[in-house]
Structure 1
Amino acid sequence: MDMIARVREALLAAGHPDSIAQFPAGTHSAADAAAAVGCSVAQIAKSIVFRADDAIVLVVASGANRIDRGKVGAVLGLKVKNADPVWVEERTGFAVGGVSPIGHPCPVTVVMDRDLLQHDMVWAAAGSPTHTFSTTAPQLIALTSGLVADVRQD
């Protein structure tokens, strides 16, 4: 199954509408995604993968924020480190730039940037650098079973 189909299946299985859209210009960065979608950079729910030993830690952050890895580790009580793109793709099946917060083939610990709650609508990667899906922050929290926390770099 391709990655976009995996995300679509996860959305539908959760009772969420299929809100996946494709943007030919690509959504490689939060700024690119915001320009393509027509929203603010802060409304982009970017996925940043860290690792805690061999476990996947996925931070879903506001596109306007940089993430403080120390805060992520403190929230989870784990030592987290950066994950290289090869490891990310091997473990999640998603290439960096298209990592979705949902549709993973294995367990993923998700931490949600609390700043996403400031927005009525957010957009997240849907399995490729050219696909996103729209949702609300509360729906995204429910879809991911994410732990909401302050993980923004000061």
Structure 2
Amino acid sequence: MAIDKVRDYLRRWNRDQDIMEFDTSSATVEKASEVLGVEPAKIAKTLSFKNGEEALLIVAAGDTKIDNGKFKETFKSKAKMLTPEETLSYTGHAIGGVCPFGLKQELPIYLDISLKRFDAVYPACGSSNSAIKLTCEELEEYSNSTRWIDVCKGWQEA
């Protein structure tokens, strides 16, 4: 199971026991927010995109949407999300549990600056009913992210 792979992965930081598992689904930002009792923006959603013949992951705040112009400027290609089947194939995690930990293969991982406004965020942990509370610094370290980027919209005040 993917959650076991994530648990093994997070063990190197002694954080495997901090994974929360729920009796109900946390597969969407709304469901995760409800089960955790936090605002939707604090859910760190992991989005999977095509990048030529490869894939990349972007972890962003739950209240954001990808800004196609910023994406194209950053990655020099159009934002095209992976299908659920492709996501599972690349990451080893099914939609609803995709996270930047314990991946099936090494992928470039980017963190969107929309997350930086929070002391703690909640990414999934490989299943549709799991999460972990992390600081942005921990998320950056544990995900082995490539860099922070600015490719989202809808979260900044006008």
TM-score, normalised relative to structure 2: 0.88
Structure 1 position 80, deviation (Å): 4.3
Mapped partners of 1:121, 1:16: distance in 2: 18
Classify the secondary structure of the residue corresponding to 2:66. Answer: coil
Task: Please say if 1:148 is aligned against 2:112.
Answer: no
Matched residue, 2:38: 39
- Residues 5 and 106 (structure 1), Cα distance of their counterparts in 2 relative to 1, 3 Å cut: same
Classify the secondary structure of the residue corresponding to 1:99. Answer: coil
Classify the secondary structure of the residue corresponding to 1:134. Answer: coil
5+ residue gaps in structure 1? none
Mapped partners of 2:124, 2:108: distance in 1: 17
Matched residue, 2:104: 105
- Residues 90 and 8 (structure 1), Cα distance of their counterparts in 2 relative to 1, 3 Å cut: same
* Runs of 4+ with deviation above 3 angstroms: 76-80
Structure 1 position 53, deviation (Å): 2.3
Identity among equivalent pairs (%): 29
- Residues 23 and 69 (structure 1), Cα distance of their counterparts in 2 relative to 1, 3 Å cut: farther
5+ residue gaps in structure 2? none
Equivalent residues of 2:68, 2:78 under 8 A apart:
no
Equivalent residues of 1:56, 1:107 under 8 A apart:
no
Could you report, residue by residue, the CA deviation over 1:23-53 in whole angstroms, capped at 9, with x for unpaired residues?
Answer: 1221121111011011111110001100112
Tell me which amino acid in the other structure corresponds to 1:67: I
Mapped partners of 1:69, 1:143: distance in 2: 27
Equivalent residues of 1:20, 1:131 under 8 A apart:
yes
Q: How many residues align?
A: 152
Task: Please say if 1:5 is aligned against 2:4.
Answer: yes
Mapped partners of 1:72, 1:107: distance in 2: 21
